[in-house]
Structure formats: structure tokens, C-alpha cells
Structure 1
Amino acid sequence: MDASITLHISHRGTLHTLSLPPDSTWHSLQTHLEELTRVPPSNQKFLGKGLKKRISPDDTLGAAGVKDGVKIQMLGPTPEELGGMKAAEDEKARRDRIMRERALKQPVAVRNTGSSSSASLNYRFHAIAPLPHLPRPDAARALLQRLADDPAIRHIMQRHQFAVGLLTELAPHEHPNLLGLNVNAGQEIKLRIRTDRYDGFRLYADIRRVLCHELTHNVHGDHDNDFKELNSQLNREVTQFESARAGGAHRLGGAGDLLRRSQAYVLGGKTGSVTPLPNESPSKGGEDAAGTVSRLRKEEEELERSCGTTGSS
């Protein structure tokens, strides 16, 4: 008879070591884990090297891709936590309904006639919620709050009258091909803020670029020329806002200035010539800027491929 297979299952910082016969089914493994963690099989999600993407409960451990000594991370909420999530979702739905009813009762807002304080209340993220069943929800909430409070983001939201009901996150294992999603033209924006292995968070600047992309979907659903123009404008306005706060674009200088000027042309907008920096030959300035433009265009194309938002808004 073959020796047992040893598995090391990590769940929320606790390591569970199991030894099972090689002909054990995947369902039997899930049953053992339910006894240890109280997470039912229907809620269990697994991350591990070599595991099949689709595993049947009747598959043996070997057929599922499990090897002796393998380390697997398990994710998933308990029934009690699911109840809490359901209650939170019901409360959020109640708040959203109240906000919609209030918006319907208010007169249509006209630019530059209301107070800045009322604009701040309307054009913002009205709720923030990390996914409670993923690791470190407090850190995820802090990152989402940082995005919501980002002065440059708040600036473009008020300038373009963007309002978002909920800012939340996408789970990498549930949406492996997506970086962002805008639901119903601003009802929710979901961002991929975590690394694939759940051992940290993606770079803030990269997440914020995805956020600008998804905010553009408040107006345009498809990635057409109108979308590209507005997306380019939002990125340009973020850069200009931060440059002004830093003391003015004329004092930036160096490669940072080249990057900022290049961003004004890329991201789907109209293109034009780029003026070389001082003490820089025109050919060198054009080559560096062209390289930056090409790189940023490729990044924006990747964002479009990783965006789950389609259709007219």
C-alpha cells in the first residue's frame, strides 16, 4: 500500500498538517478541513502550486494535483461570518436606497453654483468595504480609505461630478484576469488591490491608475475614443494637481517632468510633439518621450484588457 500523503494547509495564520491515503477524495479532505476550521466545503477556496483549477469532489488527491509535502493556502468564511456579511450587505443596500431617494428629491446640480461643501458631500465615495473573508481586512480598508481620501482623486471627482456608491476590492482567486470593475456607472467600483499570493498589496500608484480608469466608466461604458479622451484627461489632471501642490511644474525638472509631460499625450488621448527638456538635444528628448509614451500606451492597453466593465453607461 502506498504511503500517506502529507499536506500543510494554512488558514488565517494557522497551519494544519494532515496525512491522508493517496486514494482519498477531495471531498474527504474538505470534510477534514471543515472539522478543523468550521468553513464548509462550499466556501473553501484553495491556492497552491500544481492544483487543478477545477477539482471535482470525487477526484483523488493525486488527480487534483496534490503531492506529498505540498503547502496549500485555504480561504473562506464560516457560516457565522457569512451571516455578518449578509447583514452588512443588507445594511449597505438600505443606505444605498436612502441615498438614491434623497438624490431623486434634490434639484439637478449646476456646475459652479453650489457650495464647495455640498460638492464634497455629493461627489465622493459614499462607502468603503474590504472583503472580510480575505487576510488583513483592516489593512485593505486602510488602503481603500487612502484612495478615497487621495487629494488628486477627490479633485477630479468633484471637478467632473463623479459619485461612487461603494469602493471595494476584487479577490485575485475569484477574478484572476481583472484589475478593476465599475458596476452600473458608479454604483460600485471594485479594484484588485492584493498580490496574487495574498502576501501583500499592489503598488499604490498602479492601483490609483486603475481607479482613474474605472472612474472614466462612470461616463463611458466601452473603451472607445470618447473613453480614451476622458481617461487621458483624468490622468493629466491628477498629474497637474500634484505638480501644483509640489510647487509648480517649472520646478519639477528631470525625468519626472518628462514622465508627466508624456502622460499628457498618452492614455488614449490626442498625440502631439514633445518639447525637449533644457540642456537636452531635441533628438534625445523626442526619443525618451517617445519611449515613455509607448510604455504608457502599452500599460493602458493592458488596463483595458484587465477591466471587466463593458457596455454603455
Structure 2
Amino acid sequence: MASGNSLNLTVAHRGQSYSLSLLPDETLATLQARLEELTSIPPHFQKLLYKGKSPRAQDQQMTLAQAGLKDGMKVQMLGTTTKEVDGLSSIEAERQKRNRILRERASKAPVKVRSTGTANSSSLNYRFHELIPLSHLPNPESARALLQRLSDDPAIAHIMQKHEFSVGILTELAPHEHPQLLGLNVNAGQQIKLRLRTDRYDGFRTYREVRRVLCHELTHNVHGDHDNNFKELNSRLNREVAEYERAVSAGTHSLSEYDGSMYEPSASLEAEARGHALSGVASLSLDSVEDRRMKMLAAAEARLRKEEEELEDSCGTAGPSAVDKTS
């Protein structure tokens, strides 16, 4: 089929590359049918990412030219085979059976048993599809372990499911290659790169620091610039991570939709805020409990805003420190 007018595409999926040649007036449905032959992934389970675009299910009859595909373009495909989905369905059936048994036991026992809820097939798509440490850097096994911990983090999995985030590759940034950056999101989730290591390569940055950068970069799946929309969603993600962990700690294991209440920082932040408030207000004991709480939260949130501003300066996805997104 290759000719002077054909589109030669390279489609990457789970570490494999597939070369395809199609005509510009062929449809996305034709491309997806070819990909199904190569990967066994049905079209309705396929997600294509290229140059910041991701066609929707209703775009299948759009031509490749209309969809913005060009000769020589590289495409990242995310997706799950029918066999994998069937396997998850089997696991889900067993999970439901176990939960049913737990509910029956709970109805007869004096102690209430809480369930963590049920999964669904979307959990296979809304996740990090590949974890790739940099093999040329020291101790890549530890880097992979840190990436795996981020991928398995229940709070991160919670916000990815809730907001339907899908990331092709989660990998790392080498400090000597981009010393000014802590994170980079390539093509709205095709890749997310995080600074895992210290500048001197003598260890790794703290887990909570790296996870906070990850929340920042996940926000770039939706918003490219650090505008008010970005700040609102980024704050919400951090809030939902904290709420989820508080719920798990309290034993509820489930969260309702965010109700708009103010973000309550961790105990350490509250303690820090309390110290600032006590040092500046001699008559604090006369304030109400709610007044003291609001002052502590205001101080803690001011610190978080300052940290977020510093993080924006070290994010390569948008702003003055942007780097080549194709690297």
C-alpha cells in the first residue's frame, strides 16, 4: 500500500513498535482494525495518543487526515486485550463473592465490617501502563521500586480512577540532563517524567516530595498551562489524596464526592501553623476553637501555595522552564 501519498505511522504499545502504512482518506476505524490484528486489542479498548491529541470513540469514521495524523508520526497506544478484561471480570466475580460473604458475616456479627468497594474494567485503562527507570543511572532497581510504589499507591490509584487519568509511561528525569526540572508531562499523559534522585546521585528524594510532583504532572493531562484552571484541579488532586489517606486511616476505606469544604492539611502542617499563630497572638486562648482552626489552616495553606509556586518553576510542561516535549 505504501506510495508517495501514504501515511507511514509508527505505533508503540507496551515496548513494541508497529509500522503501518495507510492512505490519508482511510478512517480511524481502519487504523484501529489493523491494530487489533497486531495486538488483539479491540478498538473500543484502544486509546491513541499523538501530539497532544486523543481521538474519541465517536471519531472512528473520521479520516486519518482529519484526525491530524501525518506521515512519519509516532503514536502511543494504550489498551487492554479482551483476555485481560475477561481475567479481571473473573477476579471481580471472586471479589463480589468474597464481599457477599463478608456482608453476610457482618449481619450476624456485633462488629461492622467495612468494604473497600469494587473495581471495574476501567482500572486497566486508568493507570500507568509502563514503568521505565533509566538503566544508565546507578541502581535502576531502586528507581523501579520507587516508580512501582507510586503506581501502586492507593491514593494515586484513587484519583486516577476518579478523574480517568491514563499515562503511557512513568519514568524518571536524570538530574544532570535537566537540572532545573522536577517533573515533565509529555503530550498530555503519553509520558510523565519525575526527578527521583538527589542532585549528587547519592540517594533518592523523599517519597512524599516525588508524589506531590506526580500530582502536579497528572494535572497537566488536562491543563497545559499553569493557569487558574490548572491550580484549581491541582489543589483538588492533592486534597483528594489527603482525604483518601485520612479515610483509610480512620477505617472507612471509601470517600464520597468532594463537597467543597476547605482542605485540612496533615498533622505536621497543622502543628507548624499552630506554632506561627501562637508566636504572633498573645490572646489566642480567647479565640474560639473554630477561629484557631481557621488561622492554622490559613498558615498551612499559605505554605502549600508557596511550595506549589516553587514546583511550577521546576516543571518542564509549561512556563519559562519548558523543554523540548519530544525528548
Structure 2 residue corresponding to 1:300, chosen from 291, 294, 308? 308
Task: Tell me the alpha carbon deviations over residues 263-298 of structure 1, each in whole angstroms, 9 at most, x when there is no partner.
Answer: xxxxxxxxxxxxx9xx96455434322221111100
CA distance 1:90–1:242, shift in 2 (3 Å): closer
2:15 corresponds to which residue?
Answer: 92
Alignment map for 1:15-94 (pairs within 5 Å): 92=15, 94=17
Alignment map for 1:181-220 (pairs within 5 Å): 181-220=184-223
In structure 2, C-alpha distance between the alignment counterparts of 1:255 and 1:220, rounded to whole Å: 25
The reply to whether residue 221 of structure 1 matches residue 159 of structure 2 is no
In structure 2, C-alpha distance between the alignment counterparts of 1:96 and 1:142, rounded to whole Å: 32
2:298 corresponds to which residue?
Answer: 290
In structure 1, C-alpha distance between the alignment counterparts of 2:42 and 2:195, rounded to whole Å: 32
Letter in 1 for 2:266: G
Task: Tell me the alpha carbon deviations over residues 92-136 of structure 1, each in whole angstroms, 9 at most, x when there is no partner.
Answer: 252899999468821768xxxx98331111000000010001000
Structure 2 residue corresponding to 1:134, chosen from 133, 137, 144? 137
Where 1:146 maps in the other structure, the secondary structure is helix
8 Å CA contact retained: 1:182, 1:189: yes
Letter in 2 for 1:293: E
Where 1:208 maps in the other structure, the secondary structure is helix
CA distance 1:182–1:244, shift in 2 (3 Å): same
Task: Tell me the alpha carbon deviations over residues 48-86 of structure 1, each in whole angstroms, 9 at most, x when there is no partner.
Answer: xxxxxxxxxxxxxxxxxxxxxxxxxxxxxxxxxxxxxxx
2:181 corresponds to which residue?
Answer: 178
The reply to whether residue 106 of structure 1 matches residue 44 of structure 2 is yes
Note the residue ranges of structure 1 that are not aligned, 5 or more in a row: 1-88, 263-275
CA distance 1:289–1:225, shift in 2 (3 Å): same
2:266 corresponds to which residue?
Answer: 256
Letter in 2 for 1:173: H
2:97 corresponds to which residue?
Answer: none
8 Å CA contact retained: 2:185, 2:191: yes
Where 1:168 maps in the other structure, the secondary structure is strand
8 Å CA contact retained: 1:96, 1:165: no
In structure 1, C-alpha distance between the alignment counterparts of 2:13 and 2:43, rounded to whole Å: 23
Aligned residues: 201
8 Å CA contact retained: 1:124, 1:163: yes
In structure 2, C-alpha distance between the alignment counterparts of 1:155 and 1:259, rounded to whole Å: 23
8 Å CA contact retained: 2:155, 2:241: yes
Q: CA deviation at 1:190?
A: 0.1
CA distance 1:295–1:119, shift in 2 (3 Å): same
CA distance 1:96–1:175, shift in 2 (3 Å): farther
2:317 corresponds to which residue?
Answer: 309
In structure 2, C-alpha distance between the alignment counterparts of 1:256 and 1:284, rounded to whole Å: 16
In structure 2, C-alpha distance between the alignment counterparts of 1:104 and 1:175, rounded to whole Å: 38
Q: CA deviation at 1:227?
A: 0.6
Where 1:94 maps in the other structure, the secondary structure is strand
Where 2:193 maps in the other structure, the secondary structure is strand
CA distance 1:105–1:131, shift in 2 (3 Å): same
8 Å CA contact retained: 2:181, 2:195: yes
Identity of aligned residues (%): 60
TM-score under structure 2 length normalisation: 0.54
In structure 2, C-alpha distance between the alignment counterparts of 1:218 and 1:95, rounded to whole Å: 25
